[in-house]
């Protein structure tokens, strides 16, 4: 008995990736970027917390007032860290929006001077081109109507 193996009879299945543009989740459902921003922000917040506590204690404030002052100073930093970690606008992170805003405001603005005569001449040429296109369009419609009749 002879057995022939036909390539078409054995089918191979492949898994097609559907989440190519999705970043990988590393820890607790956070991406690498989110994890890095969160760890960096938490480190800065903790360092500022300790620094403010030591300064407040050196100024002679008791522990309760020192903690209150430290909390008031650290709270905005904590909120900025959480916002930059989790908030996205138009599928872009807040730090990307900050870079775009800085580039737009720090880039030099270029002004181009044009003569008023040039603008008038350019405007007349533009209107003439529009009129020519409209006439061509109307002529084409007239020809179509004649063909239909």
Q: Where are the domains of the chain?
A: 25-95, 115-149
H-helix segments, the chain: 32-58, 63-86, 94-106, 116-148
Residue 81's pLDDT band (cuts 50, 70, 90):
very high
Rounded to the nearest integer, the mean pLDDT of the chain is 82
Q: Are 35 and 85 in contact (CB under 8 A)?
A: no
pLDDT of residue 9 exceeding 80, the answer is no
Q: Are 95 and 103 in contact (CB under 8 A)?
A: no
pLDDT of residue 95 exceeding 90, the answer is no
Rounded to an integer, what distance in angstroms lies between the CA atom of residue 103 and that of residue 31? 26
Q: Which residues contact 83 (CB under 8 A, 6 or more apart)?
A: 94
């Amino acid at each position: 008995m002879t057995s022939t193996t036909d390539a078409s009879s054995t089918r191979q299945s492949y898994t097609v990736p559907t989440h190519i543009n999705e970043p990988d989740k590393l820890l607790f459902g956070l991406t690498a970027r989110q994890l890095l921003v969160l760890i960096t922000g938490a480190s800065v917040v903790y360092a500022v917390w300790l620094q403010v506590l030591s300064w407040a204690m050196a100024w002679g404030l008791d522990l309760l007032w020192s903690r209150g002052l430290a909390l008031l100073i650290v709270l905005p930093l904590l909120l900025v860290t959480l916002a930059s970690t989790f908030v996205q606008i138009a599928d872009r992170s807040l730090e990307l929006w900050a870079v775009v805003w800085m580039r737009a405001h720090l880039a030099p603005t270029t002004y181009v001077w044009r003569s008023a005569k040039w603008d008038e001449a350019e405007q007349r040429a533009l209107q003439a081109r529009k009129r020519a296109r409209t006439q061509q369009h109307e002529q084409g419609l007239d020809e179509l109507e004649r063909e239909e009749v």
